[in-house]
Chain A
Amino acid sequence: MSHTGHRDDLLRVEDLTTRFYTEEGQVNAVESVSFDVRDNEILGIVGESGSGKSVTALSAIDLVDSPGEVTGGEVWLRDAELAEEFRGESPDAVDGDFVDLRQLPKGVRRSLRGPKFSMIFQDPMSSFNPSLTVGEQIAEAVEVQRRASANPRSTRSRTQGYGLGKLLFDSVVPGREYTSDESRERAVELLDQVGIPDPVERAEEYPHQFSGGMLQRAMVAQALAGEPDVLFADEPTTALDVTIQAQILDLLRDIQQDRGMSVVLITHDLGVIARMCDRVGVMYAGEIVERGSLEAVFDEPTHPYTQGLLGSIPDVDDPAPRLEPIEGNVPNLIDSEMPDRCYFADRCPKAMESCLEHPEERAVEGEQGHTARCVLADGEYDPERALDESHFEGGDGE
C-alpha cells in the first residue's frame, strides 16, 4: 500500500480506473480515483450527472457490466479473516488486516456482496424485480447469507445451484423454492425495522403495489439483509418526492448510527451532503477533484470547481442570493477527446499556464486529509499567468 491511512479505515480505494469500450470510443468513466471509508461514518461523493460517481461505487464492489471494465487500481478492505486466509496464497493481496479485493478470485469478491458491501439505487421501482413479491426478494438476500454461514468453508464458492429444473419447479410454485421460512420471517423483521407498517402483509405484495418512498425503504431493508459493513447509496432520494426524501435520509442516518456501519452516499445534491456527511469527495470528469472533511471542503473549498458548485446553491441566509452557474459543459469523457491539461481548465475562472499539465492530487496546506487535484492546493492564483481563450480552440468538441 502506498498511502498510510487513517487508523479507522475500513475501505481504502486507490487509483481505481474504469473504462467503457463503446462504439463512440473508449470512455474514461473513472480516472484514478482514490478515497477511503472509515468505520461508522457517512462519506459523501458529490458531482454532476455524468461525472462518474455511480460508476465509482459500482467499480468498488465489482458490479461494472460489459462494455465497462475496471482496468486498474486497488480496493483494500479491512477483514482479518480474509487476510489470514490469503496471506499464504497471495501475499501481494494482503497487507496487515487488509486485503486487495481486485487480486482475489471473482467468487470471493461476489461472496463479499451482502455481508461486507451492499448498494441501493436511485429508482426503487426499477431496482426490484417486478414479478416477485418484495418479501421474497428480501428473503433471497437473507437466504444467501444463511446458507453461506451454515457452510462456512464455502465462503469462496457460494454459487448455489439453481438450474433449469428448479426454474420449472419454481414456475409451478412461484418464487417459493429458494427461500426458507426463516429467511421469510427475517425479511418481515427487516421491513419492520425500516418503518414499513403491516410488514407481514406488505411482504406478500409486489413492487408495483408500493409507493416510491415505501419501496425505497424496502430497498434499504433488502440491502441490510446481509448485515453489510459498507452501504453504497446511489442517489437514494433523487427519484422521490421532496417530503419523502427527508424521511429516507433520516432512515439512512438512523440505520447507520444504530448499526455502526458506514455509508457512502452518492448524490448531486449539496444540501443532502451538508446534512448527512462526515466527509466528502467532489467528482468532476471521472476524477475526485477535492476531498476532505465536510467542514474543510465546504468552508474552505480549494478547487475552483468546488467553489463554483458551492456558489451555485442559493444561500438561505444571504439576502441577495447569488446564482453562479459554471460556464461551459461537462466533458464527455471520451478518451480521444480528453485534453492533457487539467480537465476543468477550459471552464475554470482561475486557469493558469501551469494548468496545461494535468494536476496530481495534492494535500491542501494546513488541513489534515484535505486534498485537491489543483495547482491552487499549494499555490496562489496569479492573474499575470492566466490562460487566455486561445488555448482551448479546437480543444473541445463543441
Chain B
Amino acid sequence: MSLARFLIKRLLQGVFVVWGVITIVFGLRVIAPGDPANVLLPPDVNPEVRQQVVADLGLNEPLYVQYWDFVTGIAAGVPEGLYNIVMGQPVGGLGLGTSLTTGTSVASRVGRSLPATLELAIMATVVAIIIAIPLGVVSATNRHSGPDYGATLFSLAGISTPNFWLGVMLIIVLSVQFNLFPTSQRAIGVPGIFDLLLAGQLEAAGDGFLTWLWYITLPAITLGTYFTALITRLTRSGMLDELGKTYVRASRAKGLPESLVRYKHVLRNTLIPIITVVGLQLGTLVGGAVITEFVFDWPGLGQVLINSINSRDWPMVQGSLIVISVGFVVVNIVVDTLYTLVNPRVGFD
C-alpha cells in the first residue's frame, strides 16, 4: 500500500473515532443530572423566563434533533474555522457553542488555553526523550553496574509516583523552602514571546523566554517524570532484548566497531517499537497535563475542563473534551505514520 492510501485510510479511521468522541461527549451531557438552565438562572426565576431559556438552548427539541444539530454544527464549524484561519479572519465558534457561565465562545476560550497545555506537553516530552534514551542505553550496556541500578530504581520510582504529588513536593522543596522557582502560574507564553519578537523587541523577548523557562521548569519536570521513567525502562529492556539477537553477533563478526553496533543497529531497532508504546501512552501525558495544570495553576485546557465540570458548564466541558481527544487522535496518526516509515517490516497495511 502506498503512503497516500495509508494516510487516507488512517485519516478515515481518525474521522470515525472523532465522530465517536463527539457522540460520547453529547451523550455525557444528555445523561448528566441537573438542568443546564439552572446554571444560567437563579433558582427563584420566573417559570416563563425559564421556559424561554430552555427553548433558546434547544433543550426542548427531541434528542435526535439536538444530536443532529450538535454534530452538523461541528461538521460545518470546523471547515469554516479552517477557512477563516487561512483567510486571516477570526476563527469563529467551530460549532462548539457558548459558555453557560460567561456567555463567551467556547472555541475562543479553548483556543486561548491550548498554547499553555501544548507548551507543557512538548517540554515534558522533549525533556523525557533527552534524559530517558541515553539513560536507558547506559543502563543496558553496563548491566549490573552502579548506573544500571540507579536507572532501574529511578524508572521504578518514576512510574510509581503520582505526578500531582511530585508537583506538590517540588513546590514545597524548591519553591517554598529554597525559593528557586515560582510556585505557580505562567507569566508569559510562547505566543507572547512571538509577539514581542515580531514587534522587534528582542531584549524583552529574550527576557520573556527566560521567564517562560523559569516558570515552566517545575511543571515540565512534574509532567515529564512518568514519561522519562517509562521510556528509560522500555529503552533498557528493549535494548537488552535486541543485544541478544543473532544479528548483533553477526555484526561483530564482520568487524563493526561496538559503537556502530550499539547505536546504528541495536538502539535504532529498540526505538522503533518504543515509538508505538509512546504513542499509546500519549493519553497518559495529556491526562497528566490536566493534573499538573491544576497543581501549578497553569492556565491550560485541563484547568478549563476541571473548572467547567465543577460549574456544570456543559458546552465548555464538551468543547475541551473534543479538542483534547482530537489532538490525541491526530498525534496518534502522526506516530503511526512515523512508525510505518521507519520500520520496513510493517509496510502500509
Do the two chains touch directly in the complex (Cβ atoms below 8 Å apart)?
yes
Interface residues of A (CB under 8 A from B): 58, 61, 63, 65-66, 110-111, 113-115, 117-121, 123, 126-132, 137, 140-141, 144-145, 158-164, 166-167, 170-171, 174-175, 178, 206, 208, 219, 222-223, 225-226, 232
Chain A residues positioned under 8 Å from B267 (CB to CB): 167
- B269 touching A131 by the CB < 8 A rule? yes
Beyond A126-B247, A128-B250, A131-B268, whether A110 also contacts B259 by CB under 8 A is no
Of B32-40, B45-53, B321-329, B341-349, the one touching chain A:
B341-349
Chain A residues positioned under 8 Å from B133 (CB to CB): 164
- A131 touching B259 by the CB < 8 A rule? no
Q: Which of A61, A66, A140, A166 is the most central at the interface, judged by chain B CB atoms within 10 Å of its CB?
A: A140
Interface residues of B (CB under 8 A from A): 133-134, 143, 244-247, 249-260, 263-265, 267-269, 272, 342-345
Which residue on chain A has the smallest CB distance to residue B247?
A: A129
- A219 touching B263 by the CB < 8 A rule? no
- B254 touching A132 by the CB < 8 A rule? no
Chain A residues positioned under 8 Å from B250 (CB to CB): 119-121, 127-128, 219, 222
Chain A residues positioned under 8 Å from B256 (CB to CB): 140-141, 144
Candidates A111, A121, A128, A171; contact of B255 at CB < 8 Å: A111
Nearest chain A CB to B265's CB is how many angstroms away?
5
Beyond A129-B265, A164-B134, whether A222 also contacts B254 by CB under 8 A is yes
Chain B residues positioned under 8 Å from A58 (CB to CB): 249
> A123–B253 Cα gap in the complex (Å)?
15
- A65 touching B255 by the CB < 8 A rule? no
14 contacts across the A-B interface (CB closer than 8 A): A63-B249, A65-B244, A120-B250, A121-B250, A127-B247, A127-B249, A129-B251, A130-B344, A141-B256, A144-B260, A166-B263, A174-B342, A178-B260, A208-B344
Which residue on chain B has the smallest CB distance to residue A167?
A: B263
7 A-B pairs besides A58-B249, A140-B256, A164-B134 with CB distance below 8 A are A113-B253, A117-B253, A141-B255, A145-B255, A167-B264, A206-B345, A225-B254
- B344 touching A131 by the CB < 8 A rule? yes
- A114 touching B257 by the CB < 8 A rule? no
Chain B residues positioned under 8 Å from A127 (CB to CB): 246-247, 249-250
- B246 touching A121 by the CB < 8 A rule? yes
Q: Which 7 pairs show the lowest CB-CB distances between chains A and B?
A: A114-B255, A141-B254, A119-B253, A127-B250, A126-B246, A113-B255, A162-B259
A-B contact count (CB 8 A): 116
- A131 touching B272 by the CB < 8 A rule? yes
Which residue on chain B has the smallest CB distance to residue A232?
A: B253
Chain B residues positioned under 8 Å from A110 (CB to CB): 252, 255, 257-258
Chain A residues positioned under 8 Å from B254 (CB to CB): 113-114, 118, 140-141, 144, 222-223, 225-226
Chain A residues positioned under 8 Å from B143 (CB to CB): 66
- A163 touching B258 by the CB < 8 A rule? no
- A226 touching B263 by the CB < 8 A rule? no
- B255 touching A226 by the CB < 8 A rule? yes
Candidates B244, B247, B268, B344; contact of A171 at CB < 8 Å: B268
> A137–B245 Cα gap in the complex (Å)?
16
Chain B residues positioned under 8 Å from A123 (CB to CB): 246
> A330–B137 Cα gap in the complex (Å)?
39
Chain A residues positioned under 8 Å from B255 (CB to CB): 110-111, 113-115, 118, 141, 144-145, 226
Nearest chain B CB to A153's CB is how many angstroms away?
16
Candidates A113, A120, A130, A164; contact of B252 at CB < 8 Å: A113
Beyond A131-B272, A167-B268, A178-B264, whether A159 also contacts B259 by CB under 8 A is yes
> A113–B255 Cα gap in the complex (Å)?
5
- A163 touching B257 by the CB < 8 A rule? no
Candidates A160, A171, A225; contact of B260 at CB < 8 Å: A160
Which residue on chain A has the smallest CB distance to residue B251?
A: A129
Nearest chain A CB to B236's CB is how many angstroms away?
16
Nearest chain B CB to A366's CB is how many angstroms away?
39
- A61 touching B247 by the CB < 8 A rule? no
Nearest chain A CB to B275's CB is how many angstroms away?
11
Chain B residues positioned under 8 Å from A63 (CB to CB): 249, 252-253
Q: Which of B143, B246, B345 is the most central at the interface, judged by chain A CB atoms within 10 Å of its CB?
A: B246
Which residue on chain B has the smallest CB distance to residue A177?
A: B264
> A162–B251 Cα gap in the complex (Å)?
15
Beyond A61-B253, A128-B247, A144-B257, whether A164 also contacts B269 by CB under 8 A is no
> A232–B250 Cα gap in the complex (Å)?
11
Chain B residues positioned under 8 Å from A66 (CB to CB): 143
Which residue on chain B has the smallest CB distance to residue A226?
A: B255
Chain A residues positioned under 8 Å from B269 (CB to CB): 129-131
> A206–B264 Cα gap in the complex (Å)?
16
> A65–B253 Cα gap in the complex (Å)?
12
- A159 touching B257 by the CB < 8 A rule? yes
Chain B residues positioned under 8 Å from A114 (CB to CB): 254-255
- A160 touching B259 by the CB < 8 A rule? yes
